Amino acid sequence: MLDYRKLVDYKEVPVLNKPTPDVSIVVPIHNELENLPRLYAEVCAALDHQSYSFELILVDDGSTDGSIGVIKQLAAKDPRVKSVILRRNFGQTAAMQAGIDHALGQVLVTLDGDLQNDPADIPMLLDKINEGCDLVHGWRKQRHDFFLSRRLPSKIANWLISRTTKFPIHDLGCTLKAIRREIACELNLYGEMHRFIPILAHLRGARCCEVVTHHRPRIHGKTKYGLDRTLRVVLDLMTVWYMQRFLVSPMKLFGGIGIITFIASLLCCLTCVVMKIVGGFDITGNPMFMLSAISGLASIQFFSLGLMGEVGTRTYFHSADRTSYAVRETLGWEAEAAPIIEFRSATKAA
């Protein structure tokens, strides 16, 4: 039986007496038994000598290989390690949302549990946050994955997403990201939406930037990604495209299509009348008459969808006290505003 205590240095860890940590490292875990000790050691090595405190949140997403036992051991030995154990495998997006919901840090860093992301890059992302960015996402410029099954579909997906959303990005699939807490709390992740975090944050007015990060080959375990995920990403892209353009006013989309189909119905109807008057064609057997009727019904349906979408949008915003805007800062309400906690950078502390 593998003795994990030999793989991790369980020395006493000094913990700063602070109510909340500066940084929360959120790591979704699914069957990463052999990677967990090294993941813990590398995260600690990257952040132990920095001037800010951190917590490591390991979210187990229905592991069946014994990962839960290692997570509990790490949490018992180091108070900076927190564990969130999900009841079953809900998927990476749900696991990441669970970690974000439980995080207490002023800056949240998301990281893959397979060690292909390098934890040593975390301080670089935090430096960018301290320079004024709201979200920093990694770019795996030199990837160590199979070309046909991983790199080629990723390149195609990134190109398609960038062209569709008009959001300049090279690598939307990189899990390594740093994001300010107030931005992360505004995101609702579901489906495969975790890879669209930069775009969703950009829709809320976040200042996003991209940095080149290290990418390493997987040493232990099996990849959870395949070609089928590319298809699911394309479907989620349609959702993001809709949210980007028509979330606040869906009538602009469905009403616009409704107007087009209504005009098509009128033109087809007029064509039938002209054909009857000029050429004596039978209206009841004329295909243009059928097309006019179908187009008219379609226009009614699209207008109805637009109205239901408008009602749904208002329910979405009002029921959860959401707004269609995001405020970066206010002036003149200092006495009544909640205190703003600044994130300490290593450079400032030095």
How far apart CA 267 and CA 299 sit, in angstroms, is 13
pLDDT tier at 226, thresholds 50, 70, 90: low
Query: Tens of pLDDT along 9-22?
Result: 444 445 444 568 99
Highest mean pLDDT among 42-51, 137-146, 221-230, 285-294: 42-51
Average pLDDT over residues 258-272: 92
Q: What is residue 337's predicted lDDT score, i.e. its pLDDT?
A: 46
Q: What is residue 10's predicted lDDT score, i.e. its pLDDT?
A: 42
Q: How many CA atoms lie within 13 A of 202 on its CB side?
A: 21
Question: Is 239's pLDDT higher than 60?
Answer: yes
Retrieve residue 317's tokens. Answer: 């915003």
Query: Tens of pLDDT along 46-82?
Result: 998 888 899 999 999 989 988 999 999 999 999 999 9
How far apart CA 153 and CA 97 sit, in angstroms, is 25
Query: Tens of pLDDT along 86-113?
Result: 999 888 888 888 899 899 999 999 998 8
Q: Is the pTM of this model over 0.75?
A: no
How far apart CA 342 and CA 153 sit, in angstroms, is 40
Q: For residue 83, give every residue at least 6 positions away whose Cβ sits within 8 Å of its Cβ, in sequence order, or none.
A: 57, 58, 59, 60, 71, 72, 74, 75
Highest mean pLDDT among 134-138, 167-171, 196-200, 310-314: 134-138
Residue whose tokens read 């749904």: 312
